[in-house]
Amino acid sequence: MKIWKTLLLVYRELDVHLPVGRDSVEPRRLRSSAAQTHFHHVASERELADALDSFRGFPQLARELTNGATGIEYEIVRPDHALTSLTRESSSRFWPSPDDTRSDLDEFAPPGKYDSIFVFWPQRNLKIGTAVPCDAWGLAMGASESTNGATYAAIANAPSSAWENEARGEVWLHEWLHGVCAHFAQRGHVMPERDADGAEVHGYVRSSTAGWTDYYRDLMSGNVVEDGRRFGIPADAWVA
């Protein structure tokens, strides 16, 4: 069984200035002279508990969907400082890239220590409705030198209902799969169109209780049918 050594960095506090519209999820049109908006968000104990409960369900979900072929061993680190910078993900959207977590990556996750790294961050102030403009609840990238050789994913805070409206651990699994699909694609395994985001385009229907796990199960066993052929991560690749 392949064991993925995993680190979760939990940032309870966000303190950044960004050139976006104040008090809005949607940014105004950016100009070179655009004023900076201050986002200072601190995740509540409930928000942290929801995220961590979901994360702790991720290893079991990964094991179940691969029929025991992979395992997740994790550590959780809570840096004692705020997250103070974000990177443009697009012209007007931002996320905590490896550049923004660099000092903590180098301290807690030097090259070779982990296979996967997650970041939890308070994108939203759920009480008053402000939010840093971001393209998605979670964003991810494959392993590279910039990630110290580990897959990298960032997951934002969310209302309790969001965590409850899916399989326990699903959002972490989903973002992890982006990096994992890239890992196996580099080793010659062909992924289906849109890899972890491909459920709907391949005809899968989301369950109100199990989310997209039917699709992930097929993706993680090389059984996503596309043009009469099966794609994804073959079962034996997990143990190779």
Identify the domain containing residue 7 by its residue range.
2-237
CA distances from 133 to 9, 16, 86, 94 (A): 21, 12, 11, 6
Q: How many domains does the chain have?
A: 1
Cα-trace Rg, the chain: 18
Instruction: Output the pLDDT for position 11.
Output: 98
Average pLDDT value for residue range 182-203: 98
**Distance from the first to the final alpha carbon of the chain:** 9
Q: What is the mean pLDDT of the chain?
A: 93
Share of the chain above pLDDT 90, in %: 89
Q: What is the pLDDT of residues 32-88, one digit of tens each?
A: 445 789 999 999 999 999 999 999 999 999 999 999 999 999 999 999 999 999 999
In the chain, what are the helix, strand and coil shares in percent, each to the nearest 5? 30, 25, 45
* CB of 181 closer than 8 Å to CB of 222: no
Q: What is the CATH number of the domain that holds 137?
A: 3.40.390
Question: In the predicted model, is pLDDT for residue 13 greater than 70?
Answer: yes
pLDDT for 27 beyond 60: no
Counting residues of the chain whose pLDDT is more than 70, the rounded percentage is: 94
pLDDT for position 225: 98
Q: What is the pLDDT of residues 85-99, one digit of tens each?
A: 999 998 789 999 999
- Residue 30 reports pLDDT greater than 50: no
